[in-house]
Amino acid sequence: MAVEIVTTDLLPTVEDINASYGTMKDRIQKQLQTDIAVTMVTRPENGTDYTYNISVKNTGSNTLLTDNFLILINGSESQFTCSHQHLYPENIVHFHVVSQTSGGENRIKIITNNGIAVYYTYRE
């Protein structure tokens, strides 16, 4: 009877741990296969706000969803639109970002949907 209680309590826990390990392994593999690079940043002035055109290349082997990216300029989250919904390996997409920062040196951070980030410093 004691063996039956231990088995019914312990077996689901072991299965949950195994499933969690598999999920964690898949996430780590995707992170290892993800890499991006900023290829170009331009900033045309348009009156009241400042826009950045940022080109990003997928140098990894995973296809990335651009809707889930996060773009920070000088630590502040910026709204953006993207030329494509997916960023395929070895392809480039263009982000159009509106920011309130202007002048001097700007630090840009782009974070992918699985947490991989790239930094870029842009001086005006």
User: For residues 41 and 13, is the Cβ–Cβ distance under 8 A?
Assistant: no
What's the pTM? 0.76
Same domain, 20 and 61: no
Residues 45 and 90 in one domain: yes
pLDDT in tens, 69-96: 999 998 999 999 999 999 999 999 999 9
CB-based contact 123:104 (threshold 8 Å): yes
Structural domain range at position 18: 1-32
Q: Are strands 64-65 and 86-87 parallel, antiparallel or unpaired?
A: antiparallel
Considering the chain, what is the average pLDDT of its residues? 83
Nearest Cα to 91, choosing from 116, 56, 120? 56
Structure tokens at 52: 């950045």
Q: Is residue 6 domain-shared with residue 54, that is, in the same domain?
A: no
